[in-house]
């Protein structure tokens, strides 16, 4: 029994965590005080489709926020000579700009897992290298289970 | 575009051949790629003798569809694109979505149909008209094929697994929610940061400090018994939360109690 692998797909307001166990993929969607758990047993999976999109909405929101912060910083510096507020606005703006760069680098990843009669869809931003590692791990584990032909629940992280 | 050809070294070529016609997989470009020889440039799939490769070629060339489009609301079918060596892609026939495609072979499960009981047959405890085929390892009841759930080396009834005793057997394997009391510890700390702005922090610590402490102990208990929770909340994280909570909450509680004490004393002296 190998250690479960953990991954997370982050959206603007939610984060989906994924645990790859020996015989089951578990997704956890965060709610306050609890996580919604969905389990997909590897032996039931027929197809996995993946595609990626740009994070247009996140970039747009961050760009609008950056414009607002820049305006507030300029007003603070120029009109009121308020260096403290202006500096805080500038720092937040730089962090926002850094977030925009990160959002441009990380693509929105979509995953559709086809199992017995239904589709589990997972979306979120993830680094390319990490996503490739996730896909390879998932593929290996599914093939191992489907070759063994086991359907029994074996691991405690099921 | 990622390259997938010959990446799956664990799959022997012989295993790609389906054992029975019923167990035949939905052949795919992935099978084609996995079954291809090591020098892909010399490979002509249509000339291959391997059954898996032939079925994969048929799937690629067949007008019959693949899986439905994963986009919500789209009624299209994902159709495999012409195979270029090393890639496995599909495109929706309606919305045009292009995806990377992985095809697997689900394990077939034999479905046992519940038989109607004859006059001399033992009947299921939960379905009086069905023939009993097993005994529940949890309750000892006769159960029919509908109620039987094979688990590890025993057979249990659905009804037993839904009870509290059954949940002790299967652990959290079928739970739909995972409680996160560790988050409930963090929430009061956020209040600690926000409430000073409202000027009401002094009186709230008396309430949320014991609540947060209670939630931490609940998280600690869950950490000991729940493997899934342990994957999400490490021991280091749990103890870090406690230390931060005690530092911030303790200071707030001290201030809160001190302020209440001061107000009581002032009130007593004022009335005297």
Least confident of A39-43, B26-30, B37-41, B88-92: B37-41
pLDDT at B84: 52
Q: What is the pLDDT of residues A49-70, one digit of tens each?
A: 999 888 877 788 888 888 888 8
Query: Which positions 83-142 of A are in contact with B (Cβ < 8 Å)?
Result: 110, 112, 114-116, 119, 121, 132, 135-136, 139-140, 142
The answer to whether the CB of B67 falls within 8 A of the CB of B77 is yes
Q: What is the pLDDT of residues B163-221, one digit of tens each?
A: 888 887 877 777 789 999 988 888 777 776 666 554 555 567 777 888 889 999 999 99
- Mapping DSSP onto H, E and C, the string for B143-193 reads ECCCCEEEECCEEEEHHHHHCHHHHHHHCCCCCCEEECHHHHHHHHHHHHH
- Mapping DSSP onto H, E and C, the string for chain B reads CCCCCCCCCCCCHHHHCCCCCCCCCCCCHHHHHHCCCCCHHHCCHHHCCCHHHHHHHHHHHCCCCCCECCCCCCCCEEEECCCCCCCCEEEECCCCCEEEEEECCCCCCCCCCCCECCCCCCECCCCCCEECCEECCCCCCEECCCCEEEECCEEEEHHHHHCHHHHHHHCCCCCCEEECHHHHHHHHHHHHHHHHHHCCHHHHHHHHHHHHHHHHHHHHHHHHHCHHHHHHCCHHHHHHHHHHHHHHHHHHHHHHHHHHHHHHHHHHHHHC
pLDDT at B223: 92
Residues 6+ positions from B185 with CB-CB distance below 8 Å? B212, B215, B216, B219, B241, B242, B245
Q: What is the pLDDT of residues B45-82, one digit of tens each?
A: 455 555 544 444 444 444 455 788 888 888 888 887 76
What are the helix (H) ranges across chain A? 56-75, 83-105, 128-148
Taking one residue from A and the other from B, the number of pairs with CB-CB distance under 8 angstroms is: 122
Give the relative orientation of helices B181-198 and B201-225 as an angle to the nearest 10 degrees: 170
Q: Which residues of B touch A8 (CB under 8 A)?
A: none
B73 interface with A at CB cutoff 8 Å: no
> Cα–Cα distance between A41 and A25 in angstroms, integer?
6
Q: Can you name the residues that pair with A18 across neighbouring β-strands? A: A7, A27
Share of chain A above pLDDT 70, in %: 93
pLDDT at B4: 36
Least confident of A25-39, B10-24, B255-269: B10-24
Between residues B142 and B261, which one has the greater pLDDT? Answer: B142
Between residues A134 and B262, which one has the greater pLDDT? Answer: A134
Q: Judge whether residue A158 has pLDDT over 60.
A: no
B98 interface with A at CB cutoff 8 Å: yes
Share of chain B above pLDDT 90, in %: 15
> Cα–Cα distance between B68 and A47 in angstroms, integer?
10
The mean pLDDT value of chain B amounts to 73
pLDDT class for B107, splitting at 50, 70, 90? confident
Q: Going by DSSP bridges, is the β-strand pair A118-125/A108-115 parallel, antiparallel, or unpaired?
A: antiparallel
Joined together, the tokens standing for residue B252 give 């707030």
pLDDT class for B125, splitting at 50, 70, 90? very high
**Which of A25, A33, A129 to probe by mutation at the B interface, max B CB count within 10 Å?**
A33
C-beta atoms of A46 and B11 within 8 A? no
Mean pLDDT of A123-149: 88
pLDDT at B47: 52
Q: What is the pLDDT of residues B211-248, one digit of tens each?
A: 889 999 999 999 998 888 999 999 999 999 999 888 88
Mean pLDDT of B100-123: 83
The answer to whether the CB of B57 falls within 8 A of the CB of B32 is yes
Q: Which residues of A touch B11 (CB under 8 A)?
A: 143, 147
Closest C-alpha among B110, B105, B100 to residue A142: B105
> Which of A137-151, B11-25, B187-201, B220-234 is predicted most confidently?
B220-234
pLDDT class for B86, splitting at 50, 70, 90? very low
Q: Judge whether residue A74 has pLDDT over 60.
A: yes
Closest C-alpha among A12, A11, A22 to residue A121: A11
pLDDT at B203: 66
pLDDT at B16: 36
B9 interface with A at CB cutoff 8 Å: no
**ipTM (interface predicted TM):** 0.75
Query: Which positions 241-270 of B are in contact with A (Cβ < 8 Å)?
Result: none
CA-nearest residue of chain B to A116?
Answer: B106
Q: Judge whether residue B150 has pLDDT over 60.
A: yes
Buried-state track B110-125, b at ≥16 Cβ within 10 A, e below 16: eeeebeebeeeeebbb
């Amino acid at each position: 029994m190998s250690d479960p692998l953990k991954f997370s797909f982050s959206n603007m307001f939610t984060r989906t965590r994924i645990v790859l166990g020996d015989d089951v993929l578990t997704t956890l969607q965060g709610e306050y005080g609890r996580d919604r758990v969905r389990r997909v047993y590897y032996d039931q999976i027929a197809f996995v489709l993946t595609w990626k999109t740009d994070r247009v909405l996140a970039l747009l929101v961050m760009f609008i926020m950056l414009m607002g912060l820049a305006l507030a910083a300029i007003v603070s510096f120029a009109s009121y000579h308020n260096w403290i507020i202006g500096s805080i606005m500038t720092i937040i703006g730089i962090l926002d700009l850094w977030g925009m760069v990160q959002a441009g680098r990380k693509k929105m990843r979509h995953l559709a897992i086809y199992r017995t009669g239904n589709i589990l869809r997972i979306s979120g931003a993830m680094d390319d290298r990490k996503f490739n590692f996730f896909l390879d791990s998932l593929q290996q584990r599914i093939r191992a289970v489907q070759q063994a032909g086991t359907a029994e629940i074996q691991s405690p992280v099921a | 575009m990622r390259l997938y050809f010959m990446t799956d070294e664990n799959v022997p070529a012989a295993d790609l051949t389906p054992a029975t016609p019923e167990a035949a997989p939905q052949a795919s470009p992935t099978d084609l790629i996995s079954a291809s020889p090591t020098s892909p440039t010399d490979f002509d799939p249509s000339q291959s003798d391997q059954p898996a490769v032939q079925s994969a070629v048929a799937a690629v060339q067949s007008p019959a569809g693949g899986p439905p489009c994963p986009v919500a609301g789209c009624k299209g079918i994902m159709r495999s694109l012409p195979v270029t060596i090393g890639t496995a892609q599909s495109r929706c026939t309606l919305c045009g979505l292009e995806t990377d495609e992985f095809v697997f072979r689900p394990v077939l499960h034999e479905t046992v149909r519940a038989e109607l009981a004859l006059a001399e047959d033992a009947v299921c405890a939960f379905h009086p008209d069905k023939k009993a085929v097993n005994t529940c390892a949890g309750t000892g009841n006769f159960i029919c094929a509908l109620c039987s759930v094979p688990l590890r080396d025993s057979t249990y009834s659905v009804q037993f697994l839904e009870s509290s005793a059954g949940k002790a057997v299967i652990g959290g394997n079928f739970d739909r929610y995972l409680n996160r009391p560790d988050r409930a510890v963090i929430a009061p700390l956020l209040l600690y940061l926000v409430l000073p702005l409202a000027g009401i922090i002094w009186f709230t610590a008396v309430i949320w400090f014991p609540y947060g402490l209670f939630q931490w102990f609940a998280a600690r208990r869950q950490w000991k018994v729940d493997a899934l929770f342990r994957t999400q909340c490490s021991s280091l994280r749990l103890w870090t939360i406690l230390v931060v909570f005690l530092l911030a909450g303790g200071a707030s509680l001290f201030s809160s109690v001190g302020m209440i004490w001061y107000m009581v004393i002032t009130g007593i002296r004022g009335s005297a």
